[in-house]
Structure 1
Amino acid sequence: MPNREYALAMARYNLWQNENLLNAADGLSPEERARDRGAFFGSIHKTFSHVLWGDMMWMSRFAGTARPPGGLAESVGLADDWPAFREKRRELDELILQWAHEVPSEWFEGELNWFSGAIGRELSKPKKMLVLQMFNHQTHHRGQIHAMLTAAGIKPGDTDVPLMPEHYLNL
């Protein structure tokens, strides 16, 4: 189960893979990033936005940072300006990495209580499970983005954890 070392490894991976896919997506026009490609959230752009929204939501629960605007339906609207979105994504990835460096080992014990707007009720789950959820959610939707980029003729870089460049391993 997740602990501080797991969170740190996944925060590094998250930063690497977001840079990988964002750099690949730079090869598309804004219209191509916005094109509905049949994924759950439609486009590459909207899927990137949803992942940002989800990460912001989990970090608000884990670290007390600001909650993202709106609910699940609005999660696709955070990426209107591509350069600003890229900056916001980088800032959040650095925040996640900082949290992983600083979170006390004891934090992973016990439950987290929160209100889920998606299902409209209070929930309480083990923190370890929720850390797994945050990183799994990122990976799931990045897989969708990777598939959409590939279908659009763009080839993102490596995604396998053992191939993570040394630079990211030392962040």
Structure 2
Amino acid sequence: MARYNSWQNRSLIRAAEALTDAARWQDRGAFFGSIAATLNHLYWADALILARLMGNERPQDTITHSLTNPADWQDYRLLRRRRDRQIERWAADLKDAELSGTVVWYQAGGATRVTTSRALCAVQLFNHQTHHRGQVHAMLTAAGAKPDVTDLTSLG
């Protein structure tokens, strides 16, 4: 799933290259509005979920979720590649036993404690990506860009 995530992110970035910066930020009626804002949400949410899986109960204290940052497309591309490599390294080093037990974190604001299965949290990392990348794929297609197919069998 980590390799699939990286592959699909590269696909969306390549497709978004065909658009102007204004077109990437144009509100298209999606949950987070624009292609760029949705991609930023994924970038920051990946950081938060991965930090939780690594034992950080308060990742929001050091990781700021932002729909507008990074604002520069070249910065986003570089940061996304780095995040994807981080996820791939985490997944490659993961041992089966590390998926047992629970993950604990506090929601933003720190008042609500959340406890969930470590395995479920790992699945959520990838499921969340798939959900929002589907939105980006649809926005890109509607804008005339051509992302790659999303079939797992196409990964090779």
CA contact (8 A) 2:53 2:121 kept: no
SS at match of 1:78: coil
The answer to whether 1:83 aligns with 2:69 is no
Q: State the distance in 2 between where 1:58 and 1:43 align.
A: 22
Superposition deviation, residue 60 in structure 1: 1.2
TM-score between both structures, scaled by the size of structure 1: 0.84
Number of equivalences: 153
Q: Distance in 2 between matches of 1:40 and 1:119?
A: 25
The alpha carbon displacement at 1:75 in A equals 2.5
Residue 108 of structure 2 corresponds to 117
Deviation, 1:155, is 1.3
Which letter maps to 1:105? D
Q: What is the distance in 2 between the residues matched to 1:137 and 1:119?
A: 22
- Using the size of structure 2 for normalisation, the TM-score is 0.92
What's the CA shift string for 1:22-63, capped at 9, x where partnerless?
110010000000000000000000000000010000111123
**Partner residue of 1:47 out of 21, 38, 54:** 38
Q: Does 1:131 align with 2:122?
A: yes
SS at match of 1:123: strand
Corresponding residue number in structure 2 for 1:144: 135
Matched to 1:21, the amino acid is L
1:37 corresponds to 2:28 = yes
> How much has 1:69 moved relative to structure 2?
3.5
Q: Structure 2: which 5+ residue stretches go unaligned?
A: none
Q: 1:57 aligns with which of 48, 56, 61?
A: 48
Instruction: Say if 1:46 and 1:79, in contact at 8 Å, map to a contact too.
Output: no
Query: What letter corresponds to residue 37 of structure 1 in structure 2?
Result: R
Aligned twin of 1:3: none
Conserved in 2, the CA contact under 8 Å of 1:33 and 1:43? Answer: yes
Please, which moves more after superposition, 24-33 or 98-107?
98-107
Q: Is the 8 A contact 1:53 1:78 kept in 2?
A: no
Instruction: Give the conservation status (yes or no) of the 8 Å contact 2:140–2:146.
Output: yes
Runs of 4+ in 1 over 4 A off after TM superposition: 64-68
The CA distance in 1 between the partners of 2:110 and 2:144, in whole Å, is: 37
Quote how far apart the aligned CAs of 1:13 are: 0.2
Cα separation, 2, equivalents of 1:103 and 1:24: 31
